Copies of this chain bind each other. A is one copy, B any other.
Amino acid sequence: MLSGKEVATHNTRESCWIIVHGKVYDVTDFLDDHPGGAKIILKYAGKDATQEYDPIHPPNAITDNLAPEKHLGDVQADTVQKVEIIISDQDKARRQLFEQRPPLQEILNLHDFEAIGRQIMPEKAWAYYSSAADDEITNRENHAAYQRIWFRPRIMRNMTTVDFSSSILGQKTSMPIYISATALGKLGHPDGELNLTRAAAKHGIIQMIPTLASCSFDEIVDAAQPGQTQFLQLYVNKDREITKRIVQHAEKRGVKGLFITVDAPQLGRREKDMRMKFDAESDPSEVSKSGSDKVDRSQGAARAISSFIDPGLQWSDLPWFKSITKMPLILKGVQCWEDAQEAYDQGLAGVVLSNHGGRQLDFARSGVEVLTEVVKHLGEQRGLTFPNEKFQLYVDGGVRRATDVLKAVALGATAVGIGRPFIYAFSSYGAEGVDQALTILRDEFEMNMRLLGAKTIKDVVPAMVDASNIGLHLVSVPSDALYDTNYESLQHAKLRSIDAKGKL
């Protein structure tokens, strides 16, 4: 039993102890391996880090990653100095706005959750979830691409009943969507990813569990209903034994598909998120008049990440994956037909055409655009037709409406992954928010299947969409400011004005 006083003396880079949930850990050697950087840990050196730790780590993160000899044992609770978490004025205001949420029945579409969430969720959560790479062009293109696809609906078919259930990797789903993996769910809501598990159960939807969940993997699996399907998203660790342990544990716990992330040999820079931190943390005393205090940001980050996500992952690693699991293997983050074809040739179960929600390489194309390319070339080169049971195509990114999903399905996708909208839903309303989001999607599917003239998902065929403009990435000629500001816009007829005495 250690005393808080003793722990408090280990408050330097040379000897750094921290307290989490009443236990003391020596993290001195771990500092440079921390994915979030050493700086944030050092802020709590010798102190109780629980409140900061909780929303962004699963409970077992520290025990799984720290050698047993660094677990120094319990601390005497009453000897530990309270760490006061300072809540920014911004976040105080947000907590107040939280009380003003509209009732759920006024949420009419998936956009609405984001509109509410951005106002009421903690600033840090909003910045983390909403940010994307560089100029965030790809992030928005993911949505814009769907606006270049138009429908060719059919009429006079008996639409009394419609059925939009489907299957993914042989598992049933009530709609052709799945909940895509997103990290750090507790930033937005104390129940984190469990919100998704619960709503998915209710709606017969499959949840993909993220490697970087803030609930532990087992918590999430334990929360599932009997028979509820879950998939696992995997960041491959440099230490393949760790990866093997994770994968085989998942398989044993009943996970039905392994989605290996392949678009993140290095985690993207998200400047909106970084900018927010400066705003939040900026300490006037740090301001340099001489401009000399730049830090070499890249070194640290690259090194830290490389211990968690292996930048060396390559095609020749695939046989090893097949040797350790019987789960279907899917690559998540494929972005051109050549790689999709390689995945097919290597006998994988499918690929997710994704750019990681626009958070990795800016100017990567949208998944739905890549979809049209993959369908065309794998048709020509390998004689495949899609959707295809043996080699399934998924897309994610930018989806907000059931019509978006139906466009992708018409073009050959088996299903579509949706991520951020569900985060915004549970950050605003918990599991009930996700439930409502799925209800909205279900309503939209029913409506739009009827209007498209498709009784079942199989009836949603390529001829129902016009995607001929999908590849047009246009930027207008810059405006002629002098001409445009000279132009006086036309005006409508106007109401007569009326003076205070009621005269016109």
Which chain A residues have a beta carbon within 8 Å of chain B's beta carbons?
97, 99-109, 111-112, 114-116, 118-120, 130, 134-137, 139-141, 143-145, 147-160, 262-263, 265-266, 268-269, 271-272, 274-275, 278, 282, 284, 286-298, 302, 306, 310-315, 317, 331, 333-336, 338-339, 342, 360-365, 400-401, 403, 407, 428-430, 432-433, 435-436, 439, 442-444, 446-448, 450-452, 463, 466, 468-469, 471-478, 480-483, 485-498, 503-504
Question: Cα distance A333–B298 when bound, in Å?
Answer: 35
Question: What B residues does A293 contact at CB under 8 A?
Answer: 103-105
Partner of A288, one of B104, B333, B492: B104
Q: Report chain B residues within 8 Å CB of A137.
A: 147, 477-478, 480
- Judging by beta carbons under 8 Å apart, are B130 and A488 in contact? yes
CA distance A151 to B141 in the complex (A): 13
For A282, the chain B residues whose CB sits under 8 A away are 106
Residues of B within 8 A of A448 (CB): 361
**A118: which B residues are within 8 A, CB to CB?**
486, 488
**Pairwise interchain contact B104-A294, C-beta atoms closer than 8 A:** yes
A476 to chain B: which residues have CB within 8 Å? 144, 474-476
What residues of B have a CB within 8 angstroms of the CB of A432 in the complex? 290-292, 294
Does the CB pair B363–A294 fall under 8 Å?
no
Cα–Cα, bound, A447→B113 (Å): 32
The answer to whether B115 and A478 touch across the interface, beta carbons within 8 angstroms, is: no
Which one of B269, B451, B474 contacts A477 once the chains associate, using CB atoms below 8 Å? Answer: B474
Judge whether B474 and A100 touch: CB under 8 Å.
no
Q: From B268, B360, B364, give the contact of A150 (CB < 8 A).
A: B364
Q: Which residues of B contact A311 (CB under 8 A)?
A: 158-160, 450
Q: Establish whether residues A116 and B336, one from each chain, have CB atoms under 8 Å apart when the complex forms.
A: no
Identify which of B150, B295, B442, B493 contacts A363 (C-beta below 8 A).
B150
Q: Which residue of B lies closest to A313 (CB)?
A: B156
A205 to B143, CA, bound (A): 39
Report the Cα distance A468→B478, complex, angstroms.
Answer: 18
Write the chain B residue with the least CB distance to A464. B336
Q: How many chain copies does the complex carry?
A: 4
A331 to B286, CA, bound (A): 47
A148/B336 contact (C-beta < 8 A), A115-B486, A486-B115 known: no
Q: Report if A471-B474 is in contact (Cβ < 8 Å); known contacts: A102-B287, A160-B312, A363-B403.
A: no
Query: Are A287 and B107 in touch, CB under 8 angstroms?
Result: no
Contact across chains for B400 and A102 when beta carbons are under 8 A apart: no
CA distance A115 to B495 in the complex (A): 9
Q: What residues on B are CB-neighbors of A107 within 8 Å?
A: 294, 493
Residue pair A483, B400 in contact (C-beta under 8 Å):
yes
- Known contacts being A111-B482, A135-B481, A137-B478, is A102 close to B156, with CB within 8 Å? no
In the complex the two chains form, is B401's CB within 8 Å of A134's CB?
yes
Q: Mind listing 7 A-B residue pairs with CB under 8 Å?
A: A102-B278, A103-B291, A143-B483, A152-B365, A361-B403, A361-B452, A475-B476
Tell me, in angstroms, the Cα distance from A101 to B294 when the chains sit together. 13
Q: Are B485 and A492 in contact (CB under 8 A)?
A: yes
User: Once the chains bind, are B504 and A100 in contact (CB under 8 Å)?
Assistant: yes
A151-B363, A314-B158, A335-B152 given; A144·B111 CB < 8 A: no
Contacts of A474 in B (CB 8 A): 148, 469, 472, 474, 476-477
Instruction: For the A-B complex with A100-B495, A111-B492, A155-B335 known, give 16 more contacts whose Cβ atoms are closer than 8 Å.
Output: A103-B287, A105-B295, A106-B282, A115-B486, A134-B401, A135-B481, A137-B478, A144-B475, A144-B478, A156-B317, A160-B311, A160-B312, A272-B490, A298-B442, A338-B463, A400-B483
Which residue of chain B is the closest to A102 with respect to CB atoms?
A: B493
Most buried by B among A116, A136, A428, A477: A477
CB-defined contacts of A477 to chain B, threshold 8 Å:
137, 141, 144, 147-148, 473-475
Of all chain B residues, the one with the shortest Cβ separation from A483 is B143
Q: In the docked arrangement, what's the CA distance between A61 and B286, Å? A: 42
CA distance A157 to B310 in the complex (A): 11
